[in-house]
Amino acid sequence: MSMIKFLRSSTHNALRPSLGWYRHAASRPRYDYDLVVLGGGSAGLACAKEAAGCGARVLCFDYVKPTPVGTKWGIGGTCVNVGCIPKKLMHQASLLGEAVHEAVAYGWNVDDQNLRPDWRKLVRSVQNHIKSVNWVTRVDLRDKKVEYVNSMCSFRDSHTIEYVAMPGAETRQVTSEYVVVAVGGRPRYPDIPGAVELGITSDDIFSYEREPGRTLVVGAGYVGLECACFLKGLGYEPTVMVRSIVLRGFDRQMSELLAAMMTERGIPFLGTTIPKAVERQADGRLLVRYHNTTTQKDGSDVFDTVLWAIGRKGLIEDLNLEAAGVKTHDDKIVVDGAEATSVPHIFAVGDIIYGRPELTPVAILSGRLLARRLFAGSTQLMDYADVATTVFTPLEYSCVGMSEETAIELRGADNIEVFHGYYKPTEFFIPQKSVRHCYLKAVAEVSGDQKILGLHYIGPVAGEVIQGFAAALKSGLTVKTLLNTVGIHPTTAEEFTRLSITKRSGRDPTPASCCS
């Protein structure tokens, strides 16, 4: 069967099952459960709770394998435990350190000299919050009548899941009409000597007991850049090793601006460089050997911590997907437009699926919509287009829609107009903070009312700014509407309503005044 036929047939099948569920729900159940969810992260929990709210009998499995250095955590998945939440808290901690210096310029009588964070106290505070969320999640599952089992599990066949409730116990089996795979992913390690034994990842840094010190962050995706920036803001010395380009998949101009901002703040980059080995020295520090692929020269340096941020892999190896007949692509599961796998009653949502954005809000919404289609008669599919996202660096970068490169590639350079401008946040003036990299742009069609295809913003609280514009963009926002919108003054978000200079014009996009 061709891929197109598979997608058509499986999407059709995926939109029908609610009728079948209603027919058997009132009679004697054929299976132990209506839905078994594998994975207790954002996608799995959202799907499980929504399905239970529709009256389905739901069982959720979740299990976390400890990292090589022994880090483990509770229910809630990557976002709650080792992703979005602790990352945002560390980001906030680093911004507060910067704000103390700004407070002096604003007249506050505070001593901003020799500021040092208490790393252990920060980690303890972050972990206490995470544990409170773990507890609330367990209570929420109980209240919503979702059964929860903390155990590794795998397929025996397409309707049967087997697991061991505790070490040494006998293998148990449960059956379910539908199964949703939402096991997510974990960070990759490079295949070099010392990588696993001596390095850590984002799975470890938020609970790391000792101060990171001089840290080599290997990888220049958003995880690597965010970690490097909050470490710098907390007073440590990060260096970022880049294999090729920063923020692959994001707008090139904005990515390079972000890297320039980091460089200005004292974060060095090792460009076009790959690690070759990590060795522990007699003093306990780590010697990293590396190779520059441009100059073809080898080098080395000593660090206190090496943090791998080279991407993530899907956790499919323990699921025995072959027994269920589920097709995969590398370490991800192939699904159609309705999240159905090659087996019509088995679905996948979240980071485990191939070719979809790996973002928590995407996982949550897709999980909920799937549950409604299965158990509430809904036909609404997840829309994966124009999903907004933010990179939480000191000046944040947020975007929604197409990059400038993608728009040109799909529509042609002659059919694209880019409105852009630098701006000066009012709150930056008194502490004399750099405004060199405060920049935004709108990528639009050149004709008609000029429908906006992408919005990009580097500056303070970028996520808060772009979230509202994301709804406007999905609703068909045009340049005409944007420029006819009265801004809120003085804010940085209003700069989008002031975009009047195009790249094509060649005019200087630097503003002369904030109020005219």
At 171-218, the pLDDT tens digits run 999 999 999 999 999 999 999 999 999 999 999 999 999 999 999 999
For range 274-280, the mean pLDDT: 98
pLDDT band at 5 (very low <50, low <70, confident <90, very high): very low
Tell me whether strands 33-38 and 58-61 are parallel, antiparallel or unpaired.
Answer: parallel
Q: What is the CATH number of the domain that holds 500?
A: 3.30.390.30
Q: Is the pLDDT of residue 16 over 50?
A: no
Q: Is the pLDDT of residue 18 over 70?
A: no
Instruction: For residue 145, say whether it is annotated as part of any ligand binding site.
Output: no
Instruction: For residue 32, say whether it is annotated as part of any ligand binding site.
Output: no
For range 502-516, the mean pLDDT: 88
Instruction: Evaluate whether 39 touches 360 at the Cβ level (below 8 Å).
Output: no
Same domain, 53 and 173: yes
Instruction: For residue 224, say whether it is annotated as part of any ligand binding site.
Output: yes
Q: Is the pLDDT of residue 503 over 50?
A: yes
Same domain, 60 and 174: yes
Task: Examine the fold and report which residue of 325, 347, 376 is the final residue of a domain before the chain moves on.
Answer: 376
pLDDT of residue 58: 98
Mean pLDDT of the chain: 94
Instruction: For residue 219, say whether it is annotated as part of any ligand binding site.
Output: yes
Instruction: For residue 223, say whether it is annotated as part of any ligand binding site.
Output: yes
DSSP string, 216-260: EEE--SHHHHHHHHHHHHTT-EEEEE-SS-SSTTS-HHHHHHHHH
pLDDT of residue 27: 53
Task: Give the 3-state secondary structure of residue 394.
Answer: coil
**Domain membership flag for residue 125:** yes
Same domain, 415 and 458: yes
**Domain membership flag for residue 66:** yes
Q: Is the pLDDT of residue 494 over 70?
A: yes
For range 469-476, the mean pLDDT: 98
**Domain membership flag for residue 26:** no
Give the residue numbers annotated as catalytic, written as ranges. 489
pLDDT of residue 112: 87
pLDDT band at 26 (very low <50, low <70, confident <90, very high): low
For range 156-182, the mean pLDDT: 95
- For residues 148 and 157, give the distance between their C-alpha atoms in angstroms, rounded to a whole number: 21
Instruction: For residue 351, say whether it is annotated as part of any ligand binding site.
Output: yes
Strand (E) or helix (H) holding 81:
helix 77-82
pLDDT of residue 439: 98
**Domain membership flag for residue 17:** no
For range 336-346, the mean pLDDT: 98
The pair of three-digit structure tokens given for residue 278, joined into one six-digit string: 């990590």
The pair of three-digit structure tokens given for residue 7, joined into one six-digit string: 């997608």
Instruction: Evaluate whether 206 touches 126 at the Cβ level (below 8 Å).
Output: yes
pTM: 0.93
**Domain membership flag for residue 348:** yes
Same domain, 152 and 37: yes
Instruction: For residue 220, say whether it is annotated as part of any ligand binding site.
Output: yes
Strands (E), 21-69: 33-38, 58-61
Q: What is the CATH number of the domain that holds 257?
A: 3.50.50.60
- For residues 251 and 133, give the distance between their C-alpha atoms in angstroms, rounded to a whole number: 34
Q: Over pLDDT 70: what percentage of the chain? A: 94
Same domain, 174 and 320: yes
pLDDT of residue 512: 74
Q: Is the pLDDT of residue 3 over 70?
A: no
Q: Is the pLDDT of residue 22 over 80?
A: no
pLDDT of residue 101: 94
pLDDT of residue 25: 53
Same domain, 94 and 158: yes
Same domain, 61 and 41: yes
Q: How far is CA 269 from CA 32, 95, 225, 288, 347, in A?
A: 55, 21, 11, 15, 41
For range 276-298, the mean pLDDT: 98
Same domain, 329 and 407: no
Give the domain range for residue 143. Answer: 33-187+313-376
What is the per-residue pLDDT across 43-94, written as a single tens digit (0 to 9) for each? 999 999 999 999 999 999 999 999 999 999 999 999 999 999 999 999 999 9
Instruction: For residue 222, say whether it is annotated as part of any ligand binding site.
Output: yes
- For residues 421 and 416, give the distance between their C-alpha atoms in angstroms, rounded to a whole number: 17
User: CB within 8 A of 332, min separation 6: which ones?
Assistant: 314, 316, 352, 353, 354, 355
| Number of compact structural domains in the chain | 3
- For residues 49 and 423, give the distance between their C-alpha atoms in angstroms, rounded to a whole number: 44
pLDDT of residue 250: 98
Same domain, 113 and 236: no
For range 92-119, the mean pLDDT: 94
